Amino acid sequence: MFYKTAGKRLFDLLISVIAFVLLCAIFILVTVFLYFANQGKPFFVQTRPGKKGKLFSILKFKTMNDKCDDHGVLLPDALRLTPIGAFVRKTSLDEIPQLLNVIKGEMSLIGPRPLLPEYLSLYSKEQARRHEVKPGITGWAQVNGRNAISWDQKFKLDVYYVDNVSFWLDLKIVFLTLKKVIIKEGISADGQATMSKFEG
């Protein structure tokens, strides 16, 4: 009970502050490279729902440019992914800025990934339970398939995490995440740069 009410926040603060300090040089270097690759826009800021659906601004490195077709419509993700962006995504370096969201208390290191606000009305009652905890940089669904599994599987894994939050589960997810980052597994859904859109 202590871990859920206070220990998890202490865990988040301790690890995220240490990680950000250690990764500060990489953070600056990637920011510079993406600044030039994305016409002065190294960061991607987007509104996402957090705990209890409360909206916040998530911060990530911008891995895709804003190129559009002849009609002004954004090109598919795979066509907008820049070479440096592909490297940043493959190595999961695009997640580093979210450590600031964790430090601010908007996110946790471990939890269901924050999705788009437009999905809120599409969730079933069971799927919506993923918002009973803070969203995370990584989570149980990410270490069990990430973008390579179906939405239904992902939501079931998210709810499993909500029902089983513990220090040991979080520690297990941390180590499994490091393993997946090293072997670069499950980063994209088949044939796509990102997960396909959730239709409900």
Is 190 part of a structural domain of the chain? no
- Joined tokens for residue 45: 């800021």
The structure's pTM equals 0.85
Residue 70 domain-assigned (yes or no): yes
Mean pLDDT of all residues belonging to the chain: 89
Pairing between β-strand 43-49 and β-strand 55-61 as defined by DSSP bridges:
antiparallel
How much is the average pLDDT of 133-154?
89
Q: Is the pLDDT of residue 186 over 60?
A: no
Q: Find out whether 96 and 27 touch, Cβ atoms under 8 Å.
A: yes
What's residue 69's pLDDT? 81
pLDDT of res. 195: 65
Cβ neighbours of residue 31 closer than 8 Å, sequence gap 6 or more: 42, 43, 61
Pairwise CA distance, residues 121 & 100, whole Å: 28
In a domain, 193, yes or no: no
**Does residue 200 form part of some domain?**
no
Residue 196 lies in a domain: no
| Lowest model confidence (mean pLDDT) among 44-48, 137-141, 191-195 | 191-195
- Under 8 Å CB-to-CB from 181, ≥6 apart: which residues? 91, 92
Please name the residue that has the structure tokens 């079933």: 124
- Could you tell me if residue 105 is inside a domain? yes
Give the per-residue pLDDT at 19: 94
* Cβ neighbours of residue 145 closer than 8 Å, sequence gap 6 or more: 153, 154, 157, 186
pLDDT reported for residue 117: 95
Q: Is residue 15 part of a domain?
A: yes
The answer as to whether 191 is a domain residue is no
> For 73, left (φ over 0), alpha (ψ -120 to 50), or beta?
beta
Please state, in angstroms and rounded to a whole number, the distance separating the CA atoms of residues 63 and 119.
23
Contact 109, 12 (CB under 8 A): yes
Q: How many domains does the chain have?
A: 1
Beta bridge pairs of residue 99 = none
Torsion angle of C-alpha atoms 177, 98, 13, 7, degrees rounded to 10: -60
Could you list the residue range(s) of the whole structural domain that residue 99 is in?
2-183
